[in-house]
Amino acid sequence: MVKAADRAKNPARSSVWLEKRATRGGGGPAGLDRDRIVAASIRMLDEEGLSKLSMRKLATELGVTAMSLYWYVDTKDDILEYAMDSVYGEIDLAAVDAAADWRDRIRLLALDYRRMLVRHGWMSPSAGQYLNIGPNAIAVGQKIHDTVAETGLSLDRRPSAMSAVFQFVYGYGTIESQFGRRAAEAGMSQDEFYVDSVNAFRDDPDLTEQVEGLKEILDERTSHDSLSVIWDRDFGYALDVLIAGIEVMVAREAEAPDGTRK
Amino acid sequence: MVKAADRAKNPARSSVWLEKRATRGGGGPAGLDRDRIVAASIRMLDEEGLSKLSMRKLATELGVTAMSLYWYVDTKDDILEYAMDSVYGEIDLAAVDAAADWRDRIRLLALDYRRMLVRHGWMSPSAGQYLNIGPNAIAVGQKIHDTVAETGLSLDRRPSAMSAVFQFVYGYGTIESQFGRRAAEAGMSQDEFYVDSVNAFRDDPDLTEQVEGLKEILDERTSHDSLSVIWDRDFGYALDVLIAGIEVMVAREAEAPDGTRK
DNA sequence: AGAGCTCTTGTACGGTGTACGAGACCTGGT
DNA sequence: ACCAGGTCTCGTACACCGTACAAGAGCTCT
């Protein structure tokens, strides 16, 4: 077991997944174990949000004192890393295998990834902060990697294609989920919250002056469909763009193979 | 002026930019003003990172007590919002206007945006959390919007094209900057840190077993070029994919205009 | 001189993560 | 039966955080 203070001294090894550690078993008086701790954290994170999770509250939820948790875990960050990897397990890799070709596979992966980010609003901020090399996260990465390989793109182009697609999904899911979180905090539906925000904008002379023209677009967008429809549609369109782009790059490589490419 | 407790009661209005507030002037004994506070925060954030910035430390840096800051600002979050918008100002919009066509404009905007995220590692986590509707952020948004309009893409496709490009940049910049931050914390160069991480991977039998094949790719990638070259190249390739994708969508719309599109 | 505004400070409250040491419980060896 | 040693839980304490509140300092205007 590694104390938090020691962990900080060697940040290169600062992921739970890079420490060889014994899983400490849960036969104790309180019936605690790491799985129960992680499951409870996920529940609380989903309900209350990242900033509201504290060791003391989590412990209370489990009928235990804060310091008991430290028997199973070195730091609070560890709990978050475990929780994140557990959530990565929600991505249905079997369904991806069943898809017809790489285009559908990318769409499925992207959609599932996005859903995961939106369902668990604390994931986006956390995912940017930790290494994400737990077993489930790696399985997802591997699947993404294999899928991109199927496109026929040359080896040195694959990482950028992966980036283009999945960093987009990360960014999109982040915005979408933060928007949902804000709406929820304000006690409104997303549509109400959107209208409210646009109005706040319109009431501010400095802002409306600067973005003249933008307001009409905002209005137009929600006049026909609800926000959730728009989120889905925009996401689908963006994936169209990305897939079309990959196809073009593959075709260009076929025309001018290896090195002869300008 | 709005107390933090009151602000929390109405989260829909929870951005500095949506409060009409007087800028309180800095003729006081300590020579403080909001610009000085924001500038100092940015300096400290760049040097020490988001988690290390506290009101007490910031105040000490300015030769003042923590509570003095609250004369100019309602909450710590306000400072972050101001700092973020100030940093958005680093994106050189004039240079974008000088570019030849929308392709170059997108490239320039994307590159500048990415550079900003990497230079200020605290931006990514913060940007996901606040509304980002300060004057500079809005000017950038407007420019992005205008640029996408130039592509000729139909109105309802534009938001998704904007998303595809700039959410990708956000995600990419986030990863790149977090990687840099971790390397710096470990006291290594990025290349050293990368080799070190890959080795940590290789030493872990569970991981290497699972991602068999991945290791070779990782090795191959850094055997020729340094990481910073790879970051640049992958980013450029990904933009190629995105721009090619947009071109395809524009062409498809030209073939099968309005509504006749399946 | 005194009123009033602008700005700064000291003190205090309720929270946080977690280090440390004392104890409770169970198990196996004698 | 006893006790040593591991496994697990807890109480206390420390340093730090954001910030509410009220008292005061300094300046300007009447």
* Percentage above 70 pLDDT, chain A: 88
Q: How far is B59 from chain A (nearest CA, A)?
A: 24
Using the 8-state DSSP alphabet, how is residue A11 labeled? G
* Of the partner residues A10, A157, A182, the one whose CB lies closest to the CB of residue B11: A182
Q: How far is B29 from chain A (nearest CA, A)?
A: 32
Whole-number pLDDT of residue B262: 44
List Cα–Cα distances, A104 to A88, A108, A153, in angstroms: 20, 6, 16
- The whole-number average pLDDT for the span A52-81 is 97
Whole-number pLDDT of residue B195: 85
- Taking CB atoms and an 8 Å cutoff, what residues of chain A touch B185? 11
Q: How far is A12 from chain B (nearest CA, A)?
A: 6
Confidence of residue A176 (pLDDT cuts 50, 70, 90): very high
Q: Give B200-258 pLDDT, tens digit per residue.
A: 777 776 666 666 666 666 677 767 788 999 999 999 999 999 999 999 999 999 987 66
Strand D footprint nucleotides (protein C-beta < 7 Å): 7-12, 16-22, 26
Q: Give A213-239 pLDDT, tens digit per residue.
A: 666 666 777 677 899 999 999 999 999
Report the C-alpha gap between B167 and B189 in whole angstroms. 27
Whole-number pLDDT of residue A151: 96
Chain B residue nearest residue A142, CA to CA: B211
- State the alpha helices, DSSP H only, in chain A: 4-9, 34-48, 55-61, 66-69, 76-88, 93-98, 102-119, 123-127, 135-150, 158-185, 190-202, 205-210, 214-224, 227-255
Whole-number pLDDT of residue B257: 67
Q: In the CATH hierarchy, which fold is given to the domain comprising B93-185+225-255? A: Tetracycline Repressor; domain 2 (1.10.357)
User: Are the Cβ atoms of A174 and B170 closer than 8 angstroms?
Assistant: yes
Q: How far is B12 from chain A (nearest CA, A)?
A: 6
Q: Would you say residue A248 has pLDDT above 50?
A: yes
Instruction: Tell me the CATH number for domain B4-88.
Output: 1.10.10.60
Report the C-alpha gap between A222 and A224 in whole angstroms. 5
Cβ A184 to strand C below 7 Å:
no
User: Are the Cβ atoms of A172 and B167 closer than 8 angstroms?
Assistant: yes
Q: Which range, of A166-180, A188-202, B40-54, averages the lowest pLDDT?
A: A188-202
The gap between the terminal CA atoms of chain B, to the nearest Å, is 54
- The whole-number average pLDDT for the span A50-62 is 97
Asked if residue A42 lies in contact with residue A84, where contact means CB atoms within 8 angstroms, the answer is no
User: Are the Cβ atoms of B247 and A248 closer than 8 angstroms?
Assistant: yes
Confidence of residue A257 (pLDDT cuts 50, 70, 90): low
- Taking CB atoms and an 8 Å cutoff, what residues of chain B touch A201? 133
Confidence of residue A63 (pLDDT cuts 50, 70, 90): very high
The residue assigned the tokens 């006749």 is B260
Cα-to-chain-centroid distance, residue A118: 7
Chain A residue nearest residue B12, CA to CA: A186
Q: Give A92-129 pLDDT, tens digit per residue.
A: 999 999 999 999 999 999 999 999 999 999 999 999 88
* Of the partner residues B141, B155, B246, the one whose CB lies closest to the CB of residue A241: B246
The angle formed by the CA atoms of residues B259, A248 and B100, to the nearest 5 degrees, is 85
User: Are the Cβ atoms of A244 and B245 closer than 8 angstroms?
Assistant: yes
Chain A residue nearest residue B168, CA to CA: A168
Structural domain boundaries of chain B?
4-88, 93-185+225-255
Q: Give A158-168 pLDDT, tens digit per residue.
A: 999 999 999 99
Instruction: Name the nucleotide nearest A74; use CA and C1'.
Output: C18
Phi and psi, residue A130, nearest 5°: -115, 170
Average pLDDT for chain A: 89
Closest-CA residue to A108 (of A80, A140, A82, A81): A140
pLDDT one digit per residue (tens) for chain B, 262 residues: 788 888 777 755 678 888 767 677 777 777 889 999 999 999 999 999 999 999 999 999 999 999 999 999 999 999 999 999 999 999 999 999 999 999 999 999 999 999 999 999 999 999 988 988 899 999 999 999 999 999 999 999 999 999 999 999 999 999 999 999 989 888 899 999 888 887 777 777 666 666 666 666 667 776 778 899 999 999 999 999 999 999 999 999 998 766 554 4
Residue A146's identity, in one-letter code, is: D
